[in-house]
A and B are shown apart, each in its own frame.
Chain A
Amino acid sequence: MRSSPFSFAVLLLALPLTAQTAQTEPAAQKHATVGQKVGDTQFPQFINGDGRQNLADFFGQPIVIDEWGTH
């Protein structure tokens, strides 16, 4: 099957959040260090929000991830 220029473009972009890790290991399993691109990951269904669950879908917006506890 031939790939279209459109699909090539999408692949080329490869969701910038994942681009740096795609060749070496699954992007979702690498912890970035400061200065590195962050790999994509899928979160469980969010309370609030607009249904986006993949980190890569927030590209173009600054993100704060806060890990916290209820106890």
Chain B
Amino acid sequence: MPVADFRGVAIVAPTSVGYARYSSEPADAYFAACLREMLRATGLDKQEVDGLSASTFTLTPNPVASLSMSLGLSPRWLEAVPFGGASGVMALRRAARAVQSGDASVVACIGADCNPRDGFRGIVTAFSVASIDAVRPYGDAGPTMPFAHVTRQYMDATGATREDFGRLCVAQRFNASHCEHALLRQPTTLEDYLAAPPIAEPLHKLDLVMPCAGAEGMLVMTEKHAQTLGLPYARVRAVVERHNAYPGEVPVLRGGWEHEREDLYSQAGCTPMDIDVVAAYDDCPAVVFMQLEGLGLCGSGDARLLVRDHDLRFCGDLPVNTSGGQLGCGQAGAAGGFLGLVEVVRQVTQQAIGRQVPQARIGAVAGYGMAVYDRCLGTGVAILEGSW
């Protein structure tokens, strides 16, 4: 049975707030700040928001249900989307269907997390039973250890080098230098990248994201509603997701993006050649390379050639992670899973002030989340189109 399209759905008010290395406020304060900013940007009254999609790691001990009370909402649709780096794409998919079906009129999709000192360690050391049993005892390096192996295996299989990864990281840091909420706004060089201290080889300091606090969000409503409000909006051309793609396959060289690619472009009615701007979840560069390949922007194993032959800066010919991604902005927990999506909404609605990709109309957003054991289990992709 063919997948129903996402016609009539609009995304508005791409919002990033609260970025800070460490937080003094609890997670719900970041949800509140994000919602407050989205209401300000749209002119909506809070009670017009009748749907809420929440992604977070640090709201505990409060349940997501508590947000209706703390935010003073009475939503008729409320969902937790606990998929880490794939949360944004998956939240969008669910919210879009809620709006299409009439289950909700305006859904606030928010990823938010606080980061108290030592907070990151607290999250990753008890991330899953599998990680407690089979990852933490082997150096207690969090997801960095499994991703060091993913990176090494990817390098061995494809011939990608640290210089190739460095090209991506340097481009993203350049992009971050033009992004007002990025925490790492100082551009870096390939020499800096190569000289960075090792953390878990082959991963070095500039391959890895800096944990921080922050929130990312957007509102999902009907196109008609967005037009009535006079807001710039993005249409949803396609969204796919796949969990535990290629289970147990080693080495880990691909994810659900490849698995779902045919369906993705069939839904979207376009090809990889039509993509103007790309966001890929960047918990380490090799994973971005896999997503570029999974999106069909190059052949399997050929992302190293792609980054050698193209300029990945927002002003380049293949703009990738134009806000700087997590490598430039920091990793605000589950908000990191929204960061790319929110930025692509900005880009295709021509609101990326100071780093706008000229004439960006179609954007692809890939997500990758939840490193339960040796890889992330959740993958998703959305293709968006600006309404202009």
A and B together in one complex: no
